[in-house]
Amino acid sequence: MPTIKVTDLILVLLFFYPSFGQAMRNSSPDFESWLQTEESIATEKMLANISPAGATKGAVIASPSLQDPPYFFHWVRDAALTMNTVIDLYEDAIAADQAALKDRLLDYLWFSRGNQTAPSLTGLGEPKFNVDGTAYKGEWCRPQNDGPATRAKTLIRFAQILLAQNEMNFVKHELYDGQTPSQSVIKTDLDYVAHHWREPSCDIWEESIGDHLYNRLVQWRALMDGATLARLLQDPTAATLYENQAQQIESEFSKFWDSNRKTYVASINLIGGVNYKASNLDSQVILGFLHSEALPFSDDRIQTSLQILASTFTSLYPVNANGLPAPGIGRYPEDLYDGGKNTAGNPWFLITAAFANTSYKAAAELYKSGKIDLANAMATKGDDYLRRVKMHTAADGSLSEQFDRNQGFEKSARDLTWSYAELIQAIKTRQKLKQ
Ligand code: NOJ
Ligand code: NOJ
Q: Would you say residue 24 has pLDDT above 60? A: no
Q: Which tens digits make up the pLDDT trace of 269-291?
A: 999 999 999 999 999 999 999 99
pLDDT at 16: 36
Q: Would you say residue 169 has pLDDT above 70? A: yes
pLDDT at 93: 97
Q: What are phi and psi of 264, to 5 degrees?
A: -75, 145
Catalytic residues: 203, 206
Residue 322's pLDDT band (cuts 50, 70, 90): confident
Q: Whose CA is nearest to atom 8 of ligand 1?
A: 337
Q: Which tens digits make up the pLDDT trace of 86-98?
A: 999 999 999 999 9
Residue 435's pLDDT band (cuts 50, 70, 90): confident
Residue 121's pLDDT band (cuts 50, 70, 90): very high
Specify the DSSP element, H or E, that contains 188. Answer: helix 185-196
Give the Å distance between the CA of 59 and the centre of ligand 1.
21
Give the contacts of 281 (CB within 8 A, at least 6 positions apart): 263, 265, 266, 308, 309, 312, 332, 333
Q: 324 and 266 in contact (C-beta within 8 Å)?
A: no
Q: 92 and 431 in contact (C-beta within 8 Å)?
A: no
pLDDT at 150: 98
Q: Which tens digits make up the pLDDT trace of 211-226?
A: 999 999 999 999 999 9
The pLDDT mean for the chain works out to 93
Pairing of strands 208-212, 267-273: antiparallel
Ligand 1 atom at minimal distance to the Cα of residue 205: 5
Give the Å distance between the CA of 310 and the centre of ligand 1.
22
Q: Which tens digits make up the pLDDT trace of 230-254?
A: 999 999 999 999 999 999 999 999 9
Which ranges of 197-342 does DSSP label H, i.e. alpha helix? 213-232, 236-250, 284-292, 300-316
Whole-number Å distance between alpha carbons of 356 and 423: 9
Residue 179's pLDDT band (cuts 50, 70, 90): confident
Ligand 1: which of 72, 205, 208, 348 to mutate, most ligand atoms within 8 Å of CB? 205
The CA-based dihedral angle spanning residues 189, 48, 421, 204, taken in that order and rounded to the nearest 10 degrees? 50
Mean pLDDT of 258-278: 98
Give the Å distance between the CA of 337 and the centre of ligand 1.
6
